A = this chain, B = another copy of it.
Amino acid sequence: MATGSSGSLRSPSARRPLPEVAVLRVGHRPGRDPRLTTHVALAARAFGARRMYLHPPDDELAARIASVSHRWGGGFAVVPVGDWKSLLRTYPGAVVHLTMYGIPLEKVLPRLARFRQLLLVVGGAKVPPELYQRSRYNVAVGHQPHSEVAAVAVTLERLLGLPGPLRPGEAPQRIVPSARGKRVVGRGGRR
């Protein structure tokens, strides 16, 4: 069941080469918002980003996400970043700052989709003003206050499409879509 439909669910990727996307989260506060940044990382991973750079670094958070990738598959990792400005300068692709003050995502999507590498940058409550200057695009996912988790997820979904279920063998454990209840197949979850 899952195998039969997973191809079509990922149909956008079959039509054209998709950009490789990474996320940079700046302004993380290790003591205060581990859960929120964890959700940013999990959303980045689930919707197809290759990695999440994190400033300032947070080893515990990185370990939690590594454990998720270990169980649920894929090579996604949280990469510690001491100097985010240096990362922006050297990144070999377009830097896209997600901010409600930016230009509409709908408008800029066709241009973003042409890049081979994209870095989506999300800040916390207080974003350093330089970020607006150092980014190639400042892009609004809606023009209302909401959430960096939502901004990352929706942007990735619009760029890469909705991720379908995995096929057998693609991850140590995987979900088999179910109308009621939970079906997990694989290590620790076989039913």
Interface residue ranges, A against B (CB under 8 Å): 5, 9, 33, 35-36, 39-40, 42-43, 45-47, 68, 72, 99-107, 129, 132-133, 137-138, 140-147, 149-150, 152-154, 157-158, 162-166, 174-175, 177-184
Contact = CB atoms under 8 A, between A and B. Distances in A.
A146 B105 contact: no
Nearest to A164: B104
Nearest to A137: B179
28 contacts: A5-B107, A9-B107, A35-B36, A36-B36, A39-B146, A42-B146, A43-B150, A45-B146, A46-B146, A46-B150, A47-B142, A68-B145, A101-B184, A102-B179, A103-B178, A104-B162, A104-B177, A106-B162, A133-B180, A138-B178, A143-B163, A144-B163, A149-B150, A149-B153, A154-B154, A154-B157, A154-B162, A157-B158
Q: Most chain-B CB neighbours within 10 Å: which of A47, A133, A154?
A: A154
Given A138-B180, A150-B47, A143 B157 contact: no
A7 to B, nearest CB: 12
Given A5-B104, A42-B145, 13 more contacts: A39-B39, A39-B149, A46-B142, A72-B145, A103-B177, A105-B162, A106-B164, A138-B181, A140-B177, A143-B175, A149-B150, A150-B150, A154-B162
Contacts of A133: 180
Given A35-B36, A149-B150, A154-B154, A179 B47 contact: no
Q: Most chain-B CB neighbours within 10 Å: which of A107, A133, A166, A180?
A: A180
A142 B154 contact: no
Contacts of A106: 9, 162, 164
